[in-house]
Amino acid sequence: MTPSTRPTASTGTETSTGATASTIDDGTDLLSRAAALDAADPLAALRERFVPGDGDLVAYLDGNSLGRPLLATRERLSRFVDEVWAPRLIRGWDEGWMDSPLTLGDTLGRLTLGAAPGQTVVADSTTVMLYKLARAALSARPGRTEIVLDSENFPTDRYVLEGVAAETGTRLVWIDPDPSAGVTADQVAAVTGPQTALVVLSHVAFKSGYLADVPAITDIVHRDGALVLWDLCHSAGVVPVELDDWDVDLAVGCTYKYLNGGPGSPAFGYVARRLQGELRQPVQGWMGHAEPFTMGPGYRPAEGMRRFISGTPPVVGMLAMRDMLELIEEAGLDAVRAKSLALTSYVVEVADRILAPYGVEVSGPREPERRGGHVMLSHPAFRELMPRLWERGVIPDFRPPQGLRVGLSPLSTSFTEVTLGLREVAGLLGDLP
């Protein structure tokens, strides 16, 4: 496929998008620049580890919603059926399955979260894990009546906390951040106080990509005697996180984005060791019991992170992310972050050059250090253009009201792919009546 471009002329006449023909740049030379960047990329060879898309795929720019599968995962899933599930059957529970939420949690914590062993568990969905940890945190701060959250956070976070507040009679205190940025330490300090029980925020804003100052905000929350729960869905596996060093209390995140766990792969939860003894999670399933196979009367929570498990571990759902964690360990998370910064900076550069003449704006941080792994672009026509982009083999992500989110999974995305995708966007904007 070749990008659709609007014919240019030297008359300087104005298009319906506000650009003049003489200012339109189709970015034809960008492909050679992208090829040079790909040639200099120290992680370029790792792209070959991923299962390629179909022949019509030009650019996959939604790796922050669902990561591509690895070739190793195809083999792992097949081997699991033939070499583990079929021959071992129920014996597999005594041969590693029962402990897999904790052992995989420790690996995930070590490689991506800056978490020492015994503080991370893989289980449930993000929604369920968020609910469990939020309720546990509220119970650990009796007498306090407020939950602080922000109006720009992902819907699940807001909806879960609305439900928790209704159940507990707790008041929600809202922060209204700049939609093109995110929650700042000053905004948190302005609303927390002696009645604050819990603050729930995202490390990376799901729309703008803004990277919150976790250490500063966590310190403010602690000064007021409250707990903080961080959503790491858009940072785990792409932005280095240091939960232990930052003195974070609680964290949750999903594994199907930059951790490539596959559709519906389980979430993870982090609880600082210093809090595990005092937190009692509300979904008391048999797998979180101190002695689950006694099956006796009454619930007694297990020690450590096992108490935050509720039901049967999602063993099959944990398989794919093991391969991605191995790849992250091979590449090094700092190198992954460096590639991510290079990709997002390149998106901003290309957008300024070939999309800005059509009225496209970068609706997020321009400073690389303030950005997560995606870039939000804004234009009133993006909603209507999405189906046409998909037809052309370009797959970004739309976020209302008019945001095109360019999500870049560093180990599977090339600069050439980004260039081809954004040139298609420019071509469609140029074809608008």
pLDDT of 343 strictly over 70: yes
What is the Cα–Cα distance from 85 to 80, expressed in whole angstroms? 6
276 and 352 assigned to the same domain: no
pLDDT for res 53: 86
Boundaries of domain holding 161: 98-314
The helix (H) or strand (E) run that includes residue 174 is strand 171-175
pLDDT of 13 strictly over 80: no
pLDDT above 70 covers what percent of the chain? 94
381 within 8 A of 432, measured Cβ to Cβ = yes
**Total-model pTM:** 0.93
pLDDT for res 6: 33
Choosing from 154, 244, 383, 388, the catalytic residue is: 154
What is the Cα–Cα distance from 261 to 63, expressed in whole angstroms? 12
301 and 340 assigned to the same domain: no
Choosing from 231, 249, 323, 397, the catalytic residue is: 231
278 and 175 assigned to the same domain: yes
pLDDT for res 19: 53
Choosing from 132, 144, 405, 423, the catalytic residue is: 405
| Confidence band of 344 (pLDDT split at 50, 70, 90) | very high
Known catalytic membership, residue 131? no
Q: 251: which strand partners?
A: 230, 270
What is the Cα–Cα distance from 390 to 423, expressed in whole angstroms? 14
What is the Cα–Cα distance from 73 to 322, expressed in whole angstroms? 8
Higher local confidence (pLDDT), 22 or 298:
298
pLDDT for res 134: 98
282 and 383 assigned to the same domain: no
296 and 387 assigned to the same domain: no
238 and 288 assigned to the same domain: yes
pLDDT, tens digit, 9 for 90 and up, residues 165-218? 999 999 999 999 999 999 999 999 999 999 999 999 999 999 999 999 999 999
Burial category of 81 from C-beta neighbours within 10 Å (exposed 0-12, middle 13-18, buried 19 and up): exposed
pLDDT for res 311: 95
207 and 302 assigned to the same domain: yes
pLDDT, tens digit, 9 for 90 and up, residues 15-28? 445 555 445 676 77
Known catalytic membership, residue 405? yes
Mean pLDDT score, 3-23: 42
pLDDT of 3 strictly over 70: no
What is the Cα–Cα distance from 346 to 367, expressed in whole angstroms? 12
| CATH number of the domain within which 39 lies | 3.90.1150.10
What is the residue type of 218? T
Mean pLDDT score, 74-91: 97
379 within 8 A of 400, measured Cβ to Cβ = no
291 within 8 A of 301, measured Cβ to Cβ = no
- Choosing from 260, 283, 314, the residue where a domain stops is 314
Question: Is residue 413 situated within a structural domain?
Answer: yes
Known catalytic membership, residue 207? no
310 and 337 assigned to the same domain: no
Query: Within 13 Å and on the Cβ side, how many CA atoms surround 344?
Result: 35
302 and 352 assigned to the same domain: no
Choosing from 257, 306, 307, 322, the catalytic residue is: 257
pLDDT of 280 strictly over 80: yes
pLDDT of 310 strictly over 80: yes
Mean pLDDT score, 66-73: 98
| Confidence band of 54 (pLDDT split at 50, 70, 90) | confident
Choosing from 256, 258, 358, 382, the catalytic residue is: 256
What is the Cα–Cα distance from 263 to 397, expressed in whole angstroms? 16
Question: Is residue 369 situated within a structural domain?
Answer: yes
Query: Cα dist. 9→25, 319, 423 in Å?
Result: 11, 55, 19
Overall domain count for the chain:
2
Nearest to 257 by CA among 407, 37, 45, 393: 407
What is the Cα–Cα distance from 293 to 310, expressed in whole angstroms? 14
Average pLDDT, the chain: 94
181 and 210 assigned to the same domain: yes
What is the Cα–Cα distance from 147 to 163, expressed in whole angstroms? 12
pLDDT of 359 strictly over 60: yes
Question: Is residue 410 situated within a structural domain?
Answer: yes
| Confidence band of 433 (pLDDT split at 50, 70, 90) | confident
Neighbouring residues of 99: CB distance < 8 A, sequence distance ≥ 6 = none
Hey, what's the torsion of the CAs at 338, 321, 127, 175, to 10 degrees? -10
pLDDT for res 18: 54
Mean pLDDT score, 238-256: 98
Mean pLDDT score, 92-101: 96
215 and 307 assigned to the same domain: yes
